[in-house]
Structure 1
Amino acid sequence: MDSQSSEKQLKKLKQRQSEQKIVKKIVLITTAIIIALVLIVGVGGYFYVQGALKPVDTDSDKNVKIEVPIGSSIDTIAATLEDKGIIKNAKIFKYYTKFNNGAGFQAGTYKLSPAMTIEEIIKSLKTGKVYRTPEFTLTVPEGLTIDQIAERVAKNTNYSKEQFMDLVTSKAFIKNMKKQFPDTVTKAVNDKDIRYALEGYLYPATYSFYEKEPSLETIATDMVKQTDAIVQQYLPTLKEKKMSVHEFLTFASLLEREATASTDRETIASVFYNRIEEGMPLQTDPTVLYALGKHKNRVLYKDLKVKNPYNTYTNKGLPPGPIANAGIESLKATIDPASTEYVYFVADSDGKNHFAKTYAEHQKNVAKYIK
């Protein structure tokens, strides 16, 4: 083989080796790009799915009505939840539910929130109840006055008693409550003799909040909102009885402060109704204490003469407004009192009430049970 042929073969060999190196580089670069794309897509997909499984709005305090008809498929339910803004992605919700064996949703009407987690939504739809873990709860017992509720709010939040009282007695807030709940908060709260316009309008209950520090306005509004929800149930009956909502809440507040047992409320209510019908003053001690503006273990004879619109010893009929915030038992007793002829009652040292039809009988009870 001559030298020229050898040189040509050597050139071809070098060219092939060069081409092979280029091909290897291209393969390596292409492989690296593919792997990078897979990783990017994978990681991106992971974070996308994780994001889609988070609540739509953790700060939301609204509830959305969701209808789940009988026989609804998971696709239909997921689409409805996305359309109503309860979840971010219907497909991801569907696959997540199936993967976690979340089928078996119950038909019904739900009030779900954009702040709920996927797990809370699934649990609610499976059990037929709305499950959501509150960040903060506040319990308001029955029978507290508005300033006692203010003290409880101050004890359980970062707000002061003064801040709460400033809010619930402000003209702007009262006007807003009248606008939001016109059937419940009426012009009756504007009576010049009323101490606090919203006394009796802050419903005693346990309130759940889904933010760690709800605003003071949110807390107070929820209490009035709950009173409105209860009142709405009784509006037809109140219309039949020709009793206003304000009278309803006022009457119930007297029962709340007088009753020592749930079974007594209906009987005490009958006493009050009987006394009103006969033109007798109600003569209930809690109104005297409210008039005095302080708690006393025993009401003295001189206290009964205090000149105040709330004193039911010196004024006939109901006081200008509620003297406390009544619970459901007192509200029910106001609507459905017992049928009796009693016009007197007195409580013994154990808190048991003794009823009488005549003053003479009442005097005997006082002599027997009041030591």
Structure 2
Amino acid sequence: MTNFLKGMAGLFAGLTLLVLVAAGGAGFVLWQAWQPAPVEDEVVVVVPRGIGVGAIGEILAAEDLVPSRWHLMVWSLLLPDDRSLKAGEYAFPPGATGGEIIGILRAGRTIQHTLTIPEGRTSFEIVELLRADDRLTGEIEAIPPEGALLPETYAFTRGDGRQSLVDRMESEMSAAVERLWTQRDESIPLETPQDAVILASIIEKETGVAGERDLVSSVFINRLRQDMPLQSDPTVIYALTEGREALGRTLFRSDWDVDHPYNTYRNDGLPPGPIANPGVESLRAAMNPAESNYLYFVADGTGGHAFAQTLAEHNRNVAAWRRVRDRSDPPDSPDLEDG
């Protein structure tokens, strides 16, 4: 019996020693989790989808962010949290500790990229921008209808789907149009929100000067009220290109005669659809134009436009613009006309 008790005591002592050693080892590894990684610059790492903790540890160890894959595996067990390590593209700061790295991976604090969609791009052009961006993945199901996408700066993470970004653009446009339509000047001769998007797209293509959008809008609204054709050059350009490419040249007088439903020199009223994707400010201008009696406008040579109430005044503005143009254009440049 005495020998048995001595044996049990020895076994207990051995187990105790093993536990103490294991605890000490675990404590040391846990202590290591709060030591800064030996990197002096920010390190960007991509964690692919579908890989385990060990594989993530190998990626981090290769960048000297953790001592070994086993350290990350042990840390993920010892540091209490029920969140898994998430895939994505991460930027780890210089001297990040293992605990901080685990926290970043568990929280999914991935790098946020941005993509700016300029106002006035066609849907075809926007789709081409998305397809050319290698930070995005996947295919786009179809080119959205013209005017369905809201130009804006969008945040995303590497690996997000192109179609998901298109869906966000469509959702943002719908929300913006719905909100602005409720705030519109109800006296304007626009029957539907889609009419407002059509007019906004023309305004967007006619001027890049933020302060004159509402004046350009007033010209077209006044023309609609008086049953005058809009006579907008950008609609003619859209008739010639259908939004799939740049015209590559200036307009000629003969272009005004092109037989196309979007040609607002030949057809009264708004064209059948938008000619581009307008931004929020052009949408707002279309639905809340300035109060004016203007019926004409022409480039003034400074990047803006000269506005006129009468044809005689407009012709004087056109003559002034031609003098500015002729000073900068070659003598054999084509005879341009203005919208």
> Do these two structures clear the TM 0.5 threshold for a shared fold by scoring above it?
yes
Counterpart in the other structure of 2:151: 204
* Cα separation, partners in 2 of 1:325 and 1:264, compared to 1, 3 Å: same
Counterpart in the other structure of 1:157: 134
How many angstroms does 1:53 deviate by?
Answer: 6.8
How many angstroms does 1:52 deviate by?
Answer: 2.0
Aligned equivalents of 2:233 and 2:121: distance in 1?
A: 16
* Cα separation, partners in 2 of 1:336 and 1:30, compared to 1, 3 Å: same
Aligned equivalents of 1:55 and 1:229: distance in 2?
A: 35
How many angstroms does 1:257 deviate by?
Answer: 0.4
Within the candidate set 262, 267, 279, 2:227 is matched to: 279
Pair 1:140-2:136 in alignment = no
Counterpart in the other structure of 2:217: 269
Give runs of aligned pairs for residues 275-354 of structure 1, distance below 5 A.
Answer: 275-293=223-241, 294-354=246-306
AA paired with 1:319? P
Aligned equivalents of 1:204 and 1:353: distance in 2?
A: 24
* Cα separation, partners in 2 of 1:154 and 1:160, compared to 1, 3 Å: farther
AA paired with 2:264? T
How many angstroms does 1:215 deviate by?
Answer: 1.9
How many angstroms does 1:298 deviate by?
Answer: 2.0
SS in 2 for 1:52: coil
2:136/2:160 contact within 8 Å kept: no
Within the candidate set 24, 27, 47, 2:76 is matched to: 47
1:289/1:296 contact within 8 Å kept: no
Give runs of aligned pairs for residues 53-68 of structure 1, distance below 5 A.
Answer: 54=83
* Cα separation, partners in 2 of 1:145 and 1:160, compared to 1, 3 Å: farther
How many angstroms does 1:47 deviate by?
Answer: 2.9
Between structures 1 and 2, the one with greater helix share: 1
SS in 1 for 2:306: strand
* Cα separation, partners in 2 of 1:49 and 1:263, compared to 1, 3 Å: farther
AA paired with 2:223? R
Aligned equivalents of 1:329 and 1:361: distance in 2?
A: 28
SS in 2 for 1:370: helix
Within the candidate set 226, 235, 238, 2:172 is matched to: 226
Structure with greater contact order relative to length (CA < 8 Å, sep ≥ 6) = 2
TM-score when scaled to structure 1?
0.61
2:215/2:292 contact within 8 Å kept: yes
* Cα separation, partners in 2 of 1:269 and 1:209, compared to 1, 3 Å: same
* Cα separation, partners in 2 of 1:50 and 1:309, compared to 1, 3 Å: farther
SS in 2 for 1:251: helix
SS in 1 for 2:183: helix
Aligned equivalents of 1:136 and 1:55: distance in 2?
A: 23
Aligned equivalents of 1:331 and 1:50: distance in 2?
A: 52
Give runs of aligned pairs for residues 7-86 of structure 1, distance below 5 A.
Answer: 18=3, 21-22=6-7, 24-32=9-17, 34-35=19-20, 38=23, 47-48=76-77, 50=79, 52=81, 54=83
Aligned equivalents of 1:259 and 1:346: distance in 2?
A: 10
How many angstroms does 1:51 deviate by?
Answer: 6.5
Structure 2, gaps ≥5 residues long: 31-72, 89-99, 324-339
Structure 1, gaps ≥5 residues long: 1-14, 60-99, 101-115, 121-131, 170-196
Aligned equivalents of 1:246 and 1:369: distance in 2?
A: 34
* Cα separation, partners in 2 of 1:284 and 1:338, compared to 1, 3 Å: same
How many angstroms does 1:230 deviate by?
Answer: 1.2
AA paired with 1:225? S
Aligned equivalents of 1:360 and 1:159: distance in 2?
A: 53
* Cα separation, partners in 2 of 1:311 and 1:222, compared to 1, 3 Å: same
Counterpart in the other structure of 1:180: none
Counterpart in the other structure of 1:86: none
How many angstroms does 1:57 deviate by?
Answer: 6.1
How many angstroms does 1:159 deviate by?
Answer: 7.5
2:180/2:284 contact within 8 Å kept: no
Aligned equivalents of 2:26 and 2:186: distance in 1?
A: 68
